[in-house]
Amino acid sequence: MTQENHNAKSMFHGFWALTNRDLKKWYKEPILLFMSIIQPVLWMGLFGRAMNIGAIFTNNNVPPEIANQLMIQTFGVGDYFSFMAVGMLSFVIVFTAMFSGMSIVWDRRLGFLNKALSTPVARGAIIMSKVLSAVVRSLIQAGIVIVLAWLLGMQFSSSFTVLHLLGTFAALFLMCLGLASLFIAIAIRSTRWETQMAVVNLLNLPLIFTSNALFPSNFMPDWLQTISRINPITYGTDAARQLLILSTIDTSKLIMDFAFLGGFALVFATAGIILSWKYLSK
Amino acid sequence: MEEIIQVDNLTKVFNKSLTAVDHVSFSVKEGEIFGFLGPNGAGKTTTINMLITVLKPTSGTATVCGHSIQKDANGVRNSIGVVPQEYTADEDLTGMENILLCADLYGIPRSESKKRAQELLELVELTKFADKRVQTYSGGMRRRLELACGLINRPRVLFLDEPTLGLDVQTRAATWSYIKRLKEQYNMTIFMTTHYLEEADNLCDRIAIIDHGKIIKLDSPDALKESIDGDILTVTTKEDDNDVSGLISKVPKVKEVKKQNSTYRVKVEKGEETAPLILNALMKNGVTITKLSLSKPTLDEVYLEYTGKTIREEEGTDMFRQRITLRRARH
């Protein structure tokens, strides 16, 4: 075996070992999975059901056909619940990605990071293993949320197939890859988890509210639309929504969604690796 | 003997103002146990962290096993083992899983790492607990697990940073017997830091006393003790307002007198012969002696002599980390 071949192999070896460490900690504690699922379920069950927007029309004696048409024009589907349930997929991904920065802070504080840095494992592998474990966790959680949303009454589009489901996961994968890289890069030098916690608390709701996760962005004021247009969550949610629940898919918009998400993931994953070369050791 | 670690003017300045390690130069010979002795915050861990390539030096150079820590970091990493101050093993994983994780970080294939892990667990007597979560381990067991992890890549140099921090006396002794056994088994060089004097005295072939980022003295424990050049006589008198330093220093072969309240720390040559002379001189002048002790120089005295203070607990290090380490040790 050539030296380079061996290096590449051992790099992957260490990368997978570190990823597996994080995943093991996660699946050995089912309570963690339960806690991360319970929040979107509460949102769907309480917020999704309470915001019974269709009732605005029926209670005001708008004829059912017109009411339904207004709903479809606004949300793309006849019921608000299906609309926001897809938003919850983004919600669960944003939260998982944000907290993945936390675990690198803990590794630093408890000395594990120094220990890993003293081994020949690639510096990029240390960072990307955190990203990959966040991606795996959030995609599994998103899968569970889709099933729960369906049980709670989300309507899939009539043309829905397994291919659409795979497409949805591809979009969510790219979104999570970018977001997790971003938040881990923020945490890369931090020794205080309080700081990281503050960042998460400050950003989580604004990120959701400035996207189309809960409300369509074309009804937002102009300045908010501008923010929404650079918010990756908008694109991830739109792709998922088109593929899962909308009866007609706007192909050019879908390509735009994937292009934006691909670029976003590429830029931040690369930035994460470069930062880890430079800043992981002081 | 070949020199396995060469350090030349190594310096680390944090945030452009705090000089943690200040132009340190020394070398470690192959096969010896080399100790860094100093109070918390003296620069011991910073030096280790630079040698194990976790911290980048501000200036100066060093080589470990012939590899430059700056130019060939991976060469260094492959030839060393590290046992950090903290317990870094993952609490949620088992002992075996933790060792295998370390092996993976070195890129050791599974077929080989399983064999090595079993052998090492045997050596540190953790075989029975291999499949138990680390959460359930005691402080001594955790320390042994860290040792096993540090040896998985068969290192030529093992770095031990405060290997017995927070352990009780018996566990400390036991940990050291494990370290000695491992050293014999694998024929390694050991670089360690400690602030336990008796530990340094009993184990190290050579000791560097470090304070404020500088090496103050470097020699074998015996040579360090001899360098004190004399015995220490401690005299306590009844009259604490009456300074008798002058009286004592007039006695022949008394080299130095230090007064602390009513206690005098007297450095003398040939303690057994000089002590009676001092007693006579004091009693002739009507001074009542309440306590008297004569001691051969210990490393404590050496330390006091060169740093001007007894080993102190210093704040400002990462107290949180230390608390966690101590909490786990007491578990």
Contact A114 B74 (CB under 8 A): no
Q: Is residue B327's pLDDT more than 80?
A: no
Among candidates A14, A24, A25 on the partner chain, residue whose Cβ is nearest the Cβ of B104: A14
Residue range B2-24, pLDDT digits in tens: 899 999 999 999 888 888 999 99
d(CA B194, CA A260): 54
Nearest-by-CA chain A residue for B325: A110
Give the chain A residue nearest B100 (alpha carbons).
Answer: A17
CB contact under 8 A, A16 and B55: no
Q: What distance in Å separates the CA atoms of residue B264 and residue B257, rounded to the nearest whole number?
A: 7
Pairwise CB contact (< 8 Å): B102 & A119: yes
B223 CB within 8 Å of a chain A CB? no
Nearest residue on chain A to B58, alpha-carbon basis: A282
- Sorted by where each begins, the domain ranges of chain B are 3-225, 230-296
Confidence of residue B106 (pLDDT cuts 50, 70, 90): very high
In the CATH scheme, what architecture does the domain B230-296 have?
2-Layer Sandwich (3.30)
Average pLDDT, 10 consecutive residues per value, chain A (282 residues): 54 88 88 86 87 81 86 86 93 90 88 92 91 95 94 90 95 96 89 84 90 90 93 96 91 95 96 87 66
Q: Classify residue B9 as left (phi > 0), alpha (psi -120 to 50) or beta.
A: left
Q: Which residues, 6+ apart, have CB-to-CB distance to A245 below 8 Å?
A: A76, A77, A82, A83, A86, A154, A155, A156, A157, A160
Query: A133 is in which domain, residue-wise?
Result: 3-279
Strand B206-211 and strand B254-260: the pairing is unpaired
Confidence of residue B315 (pLDDT cuts 50, 70, 90): very low
Whole-number pLDDT of residue B1: 57
Buried b (16+ CB within 10 A) or exposed e, B242-271: eebeebbeebeebeebeeeebebebbbeeb
B32: three-class secondary structure by DSSP: coil
Q: Tell which B residues from 87 to 146 touch A, by Cβ distance under 8 Å.
A: 87-88, 90, 92-93, 97, 100-102, 104-107, 109
Q: Contacts for B55-60 with beta carbons within 8 Å, 24 or more apart?
A: B55/A281, B55/A282, B55/B12, B56/A281, B56/A282, B57/B10, B57/B11, B57/B12, B57/B21, B58/B11, B58/B12, B58/B13, B59/B9, B59/B10, B59/B11, B60/B7, B60/B8, B60/B9, B60/B10, B60/B11, B60/B23, B60/B24, B60/B25
**Annotation: CATH topology of B3-225:** Rossmann fold (3.40.50)
Please list every residue in chain A whose beta carbon sits closer than 8 Å to the beta carbon of residue B80: 118
What pLDDT score does B313 carry?
Answer: 41
Over the Cα atoms of chain B, what is R_g? 23
Residues of chain B neighbouring A117 (CB-CB closer than 8 A) = 53-54
| 3-class secondary structure, A241 | helix
Report the pLDDT value the prediction gives residue A9, as an integer from 0 to 100.
66
Q: Which amino acid is at A159?
A: S
Interface check B281 vs A, CB under 8 A: no
| Number of folded domains that form chain A | 1
Question: pLDDT tens digit string along B186-243?
Answer: 889 999 998 788 888 888 999 999 888 999 889 998 888 887 777 888 888 886 667 8
Local structure of residue B65 (DSSP, 8 states)? T
